[in-house]
């Protein structure tokens, strides 16, 4: 066969496999629509009204809060440790995984077990962690989680419950720290070194033996904390058979209105028989409303519902200045085929207009660079809507795992958060310029140049690198098949 004939055959197979993959994705979307309709939750997937806030099944937006976004572990973890040490009534922690030897401080001298044990001598300390994977294809496995729990509680007054109220292939994924029902941390940072050390600084220096880690959490004070505390109380009562008292109200602490959103699959807890899918709803509402900018940082981008919205925006952009920028890991720890295939579709939807950019970041010190894991879960739309929490943009987080996010429509906070993140990623002191201009004149040329250097085997001179989409048959087809098996 000639080269031309071989290439033609490959293109034909690409089209067939892409069509099959697309068919699987459409089938999954219809499956989720039937599922949501059956449980009276269709508005989460197809909101019938305008607006950015999740409605009906979510807690209402709470005015009167202080919300601070803490970027990267070196800024967030010491603040968590400080808050825990200052507890006067109780400390409540939810984590996907918690290692007793994990140290949240800069000096690496006070493991989380010692920190919690010391506080537990004065006030109740309650911890909920996922019970672990019931099948030996995921981490952490149940035996490892039981061993970690034993090390955590042995010889201490720490109370720790292992929560197994999940579907077979899913997990409890939220990351919460609540102190005295007065302040709460809601974000993406687990108290573990599994898959990478969460303690990393904004400049992400190259680490010889460890993967770098980019993450974020929100520090909250005010009435929104009661909603976070109520979620913990629901899970604690289900696993420990102990009802926790909640404050009648939490006094105002600021001027920001914040909404508590979550994913709780139907049937996971008796008090939520129909589940709650308000994380999905608020993302759907915000992305559909976007007029100027969609900026997403996430570990994954393989929800067909979300990608279809982005595709539609790129095919019919609201304005010439409209931009979509996504920051993802260079190589996700799973779902990589799904994500790269989705990026290929978004590149195609962009149609060469340069309104879409996918990028990643690498750890770097001089000419030495290495992996840096993007684990943050942040969404910003039009500098008006900001979401931060534990939810990934995949079917796990939007339909099947338990997740907690917080959302605000405070434009000052949304814009300030973007400026902080972009200053970090662009390696500059100030990134407060026009978003479209920064994407076109900074993000894109830097990311493209570093991708070319990476392909040529040359040292990186910046840690921002373009992340290309792919459309090879194995990836375009295997992604939807994997999602169907795991998420369907």
CATH label of the domain that carries residue 23: 3.30.870.10
- What is the three-class DSSP state of 146? helix
Q: Final residue of a domain: which of 225, 254, 283? A: 254
Q: Which residue has the tokens 């010190």?
A: 365
pLDDT digits (tens, 9 = 90+) for 108-131: 678 999 999 999 999 999 999 999
Residues 6 or more apart whose Cβ sits within 8 Å of residue 48? none
Residues 244 and 318 in one domain: no
- What is the three-class DSSP state of 332? coil
- Domain enclosing residue 448, as ranges: 12-57+261-487
Residue 342's pLDDT is what? 83
- What is the three-class DSSP state of 302? strand
Residue 482's pLDDT is what? 52
Q: Final residue of a domain: which of 224, 254, 284? A: 254
DSSP string, 79-129: HHHHHHHT-SS-EEEEES-B-TT---STTS-S-HHHHHHHHHTTS-EEEEE
Question: Looking at the 3D structure of the chain, how many domains does it have?
Answer: 2
Asked if residue 228 belongs to a domain, the reply is yes
Of residues 223 and 196, more confidently modeled: 223
The predicted model gives 80-106 an average pLDDT of 95
CB 124 within 8 A of CB 160: no
Residue 212 to residue 207: CA distance in whole angstroms: 7
Residue 216 to residue 235: CA distance in whole angstroms: 23
Residue 51: closest CA among 256, 247, 286:
286
Residues 164 and 243 in one domain: yes
Residues 37 and 123 in one domain: no
Residue 246: closest CA among 225, 260, 265, 264:
225
Asked if residue 5 belongs to a domain, the reply is no
Asked if residue 448 belongs to a domain, the reply is yes
Residues 346 and 406 in one domain: yes
Residue 106's pLDDT is what? 75
| Cβ-count burial 20-41 (b if 16+ within 10 Å, e if not) | ebeebbeebbeebeebbeebeb
Q: Final residue of a domain: which of 254, 283, 315? A: 254
Q: Which residues pair with 92 in a beta bridge?
A: 126, 178
pLDDT digits (tens, 9 = 90+) for 350-395: 999 999 999 999 999 998 999 899 999 999 999 999 999 999 999 9
Residues 236 and 315 in one domain: no
């Amino acid at each position: 066969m000639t080269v031309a004939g071989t290439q033609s055959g490959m293109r034909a197979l690409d089209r067939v496999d892409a069509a099959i993959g697309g068919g699987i994705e459409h089938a999954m979307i219809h499956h989720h629509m039937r599922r949501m309709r059956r449980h009276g939750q269709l508005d989460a997937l197809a909101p019938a009204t305008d607006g950015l806030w999740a409605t009906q099944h979510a807690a209402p937006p709470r005015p009167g809060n202080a919300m601070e976004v803490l970027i990267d572990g070196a800024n967030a973890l010491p603040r968590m440790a400080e808050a825990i040490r200052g507890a006067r009534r109780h400390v409540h922690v939810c984590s996907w995984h918690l290692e007793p030897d994990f140290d949240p401080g800069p000096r690496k001298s006070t493991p989380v077990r010692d920190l919690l044990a010391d506080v537990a001598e004065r006030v109740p300390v309650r911890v909920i962690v996922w019970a672990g994977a019931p099948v030996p294809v995921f981490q952490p496995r149940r035996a490892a989680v039981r061993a970690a729990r034993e090390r955590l509680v042995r010889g201490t007054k720490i109370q720790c419950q292992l929560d197994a109220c999940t579907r077979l292939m899913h997990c409890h994924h939220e990351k919460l720290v609540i102190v005295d029902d007065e302040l709460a941390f809601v974000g993406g940072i687990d108290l573990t070194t599994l898959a990478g050390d969460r303690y990393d600084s904004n400049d992400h220096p190259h680490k010889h033996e460890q993967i770098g880690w980019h993450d974020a959490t929100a520090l909250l004070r005010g009435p929104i904390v009661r909603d976070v505390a109520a979620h913990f109380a629901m899970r604690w009562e289900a696993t420990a058979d102990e009802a926790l008292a909640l404050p009648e109200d939490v006094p105002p602490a600021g001027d920001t209105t914040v909404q508590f959103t979550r994913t709780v699959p139907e049937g996971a807890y008796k008090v939520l028989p129909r589940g709650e899918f308000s994380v999905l709803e608020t993302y759907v509402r915000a992305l559909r409303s976007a007029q100027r900018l969609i900026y997403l940082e996430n570990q994954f981008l393989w929800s067909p519902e979300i990608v279809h919205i982005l595709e539609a925006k790129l095919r019919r952009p609201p304005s010439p200045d409209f931009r979509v920028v996504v920051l993802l890991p260079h190589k996700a720890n799973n779902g990589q085929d799904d994500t790269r295939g989705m990026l290929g579709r978004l590149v195609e939807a962009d149609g060469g207009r340069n309104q879409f950019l996918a990028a990643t970041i690498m750890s770097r010190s001089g000419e030495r660079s290495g992996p840096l894991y993007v684990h943050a879960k942040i969404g910003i739309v039009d500098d008006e809507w900001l979401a931060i929490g534990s939810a990934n943009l995949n079917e796990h987080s939007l339909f099947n795992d338990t997740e907690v996010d917080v959302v605000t429509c405070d434009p000052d906070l949304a814009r300030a958060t973007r400026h902080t993140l972009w200053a970090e990623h662009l390696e500059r002191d100030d990134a407060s310029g026009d978003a479209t201009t920064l994407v076109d004149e900074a993000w894109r040329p830097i990311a493209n140049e570093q991708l070319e250097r990476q392909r040529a085997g040359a040292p990186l001179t910046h840690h921002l690198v373009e992340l290309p989409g792919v459309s090879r048959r194995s990836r375009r087809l295997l992604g939807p098949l994997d999602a169907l098996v795991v998420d369907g």
